[in-house]
Structure 1
Amino acid sequence: MKIQNQSMISFSIHRYQRNVTSLTKTLDKLSSGLRIYRASDDAAGLSISETLRAQIRGLAQSQRNMQDGLSVLKAAEEGLMNVNNLLQRIRELAVQNANDTLNASDRAASQKELEQLLQAIDDTAEKLEFNTQKILGENRPLRLQVGANPGQTIAVDMVDTSTTSLGLNGATLLTQTDAEQLIAKVDNALKKVTNDLTNVGSDYEAIEHHLNNAMLKEGNLTASESLLRDTNIAREMMNYISENIRQQGDYLLISHVNRNIKDILELFA
């Protein structure tokens, strides 16, 4: 006596199990917000997504690099402006002492102030630092990684503003001739510092340009990666409802068949 349709019950059980798996995947996507929750969801899409993520994270770090570079340039600008002001005062003293009406006491007082000003210039060059690196104490390039890939770097020039570099080491105002010669030396130093300030401004604009480009590119890549990897909540909710209905239908069918079998078997008990 045939008491059940074996193929029908097997099909229902198989479909029920498949719906359980599909429902679990849908719940994973809804809870995580990711369309690609695991590699099996979309292997090719995951590969593209990870490549985009590497670029996005690289661009984010390059922006932090450039922000550090801008901070260095701001500090350099402040230091150069300080040196410029000190040089202006030195020039003023030199012009004053180039006048032959000053006596020895006047020149001694001016010499003392000159030495203090020169020391202040050297202190600025020696002590102005960013992350323990000198900003105005040596001539060298400062390389910044401004992109996510190799070769995407720019270099800004760090400068030496010590009195030796400016040609003012050992300057004196003890004679009228010394003072007159110092005027010319200070003029040359002022030209150098002014040129350095101009370069700092140009470098600052260049870094800002690269920073804006990196921010724009990161935004575009983030949007693309989001479209590729993030789940469509409305669509997945529809899938969840549909799969849940199918799962409940199969469960009821299996339960109904099993109950009928039990009732029939009880007749033979």
Structure 2
Amino acid sequence: MSLVINHNLMAMNAARNLTTAYSNLGTSVNRLSSGLRINSAADDAAGLAIRELMRADIASINQGVRNAMDAISMIQTADGALGVIDEKLIRMKELAEQAATGTYNSDQRLIIDSEYQAMASEITRIANATDFNGIYLLNGNLSAETHNGEGLNPTGKLKVHFGAGNDSAEDYYYIQIGNSTASALGVGIGAGAGAQAKSVSTQALAQRALEGIQQAIISKDKIRANLGALQNRLENTITNLQIQAENLQASESRISDVDVALEMTEFVRQQILSQAAVAMLSQANSLPRMAMQLLGG
């Protein structure tokens, strides 16, 4: 290399190397301080795109877990109310059994029937009053076979959405709860014309009511059994979603998070290179003085 005074090529080379090492040192400091390998798209454009998609899926799945948990709470609310209705039906069957025997007179059967009708009214009140977050559960609103979510208030059976997509086979399923009012169960004075458990005011009516109440209990038990199966299904779904979110989080971490041990090694390397470049730049800046000696300076 020629000894010149217009250009200090060695200083330029040292400055360029210092810029590179110092930039890499700044990248290492950024990664170590944030804990992320990818802090901007420039760090890894493809990795950033994959990471953001994974983060979106993880957030959606975690919300899906909360959705499923809310559905379990709703089912438990309905099941608790049906448990109270169960007690009322048992009492009604007890009253029907009492009125069915011949040792009571008509006045006494009317008194028994008065309590019987009160139990039926209470069943209807419970069914109409049981709600979860403003959604009425037992009054027949969720008993329809079809679901329509186009309006502000969805109608028909309730859709529980827990997946990150919109595939009916993977991301959601429906909760259908039958009507549990007294008339729907076929008990009480408000039941339909063909109901067997309308009243226990006579011995014959009380005897027929025993069979009608038995069928009402079976109908109610079918609703509870369906809810229990749905709760178990939701609990399994939650477990699966949590595992899925955990594995996605692990994958996202491998793409996004910095390996502190490796990055610390790179940090020390770039730090040494920066220090060496500073030292060599200082030496290179002093080399033109050699030309002054030749000029007699």
- 2:147 is matched with which residue? none
Counterpart Cα distance in 1 of 2:121 and 2:260? 67
Choose which of 256, 259, 269 in structure 1 pairs with 2:283.
256
* Cα distance change of structure 1 residues 99 and 253 upon mapping to structure 2, 3 Å threshold: same
Unaligned segments of structure 2, at least 5 residues: 145-156, 190-197
* Cα distance change of structure 1 residues 98 and 248 upon mapping to structure 2, 3 Å threshold: same
**Secondary structure of the equivalent of 2:83?**
helix
Unaligned segments of structure 1, at least 5 residues: none
- 2:172 is matched with which residue? 153
Greater share of helix residues, 1 or 2?
Answer: 1
Shift of 1:186: 0.8
Contact 1:146 1:153 in 2 (8 A): yes
Counterpart Cα distance in 2 of 1:132 and 1:181? 38
Shift of 1:231: 0.3
* 1:184 equivalent in alignment to 2:242: no
Shift of 1:154: 0.9
- 1:49 is matched with which residue? 51
CA offset digits 1:86-143 (Å, max 9, x no partner) = 1010000011011122134422332232232112211211111111001111114221
Identity %: 27
**Secondary structure of the equivalent of 1:39?**
coil
The TM-score, its normalising length taken from structure 1, stands at 0.92
- 2:154 is matched with which residue? none
Counterpart Cα distance in 2 of 1:218 and 1:76? 29
What is the identity, as a one-letter code, of the residue corresponding to 1:167?
A: G
- 1:240 is matched with which residue? 267
Counterpart Cα distance in 2 of 1:181 and 1:13? 103
Shift of 1:264: 8.3
Query: Over aligned residue pairs, what C-alpha RMSD do you find?
Result: 2.3
What is the identity, as a one-letter code, of the residue corresponding to 1:172?
A: S
- 1:164 is matched with which residue? 183
Counterpart Cα distance in 1 of 2:122 and 2:26? 71
Shift of 1:212: 1.4
The TM-score, its normalising length taken from structure 2, stands at 0.84
Contact 1:79 1:124 in 2 (8 A): yes
Contact 2:161 2:172 in 1 (8 A): yes
Counterpart Cα distance in 2 of 1:251 and 1:109? 104
* 1:224 equivalent in alignment to 2:251: yes
Contact 2:41 2:48 in 1 (8 A): yes
* 1:111 equivalent in alignment to 2:130: no
Shift of 1:56: 1.2
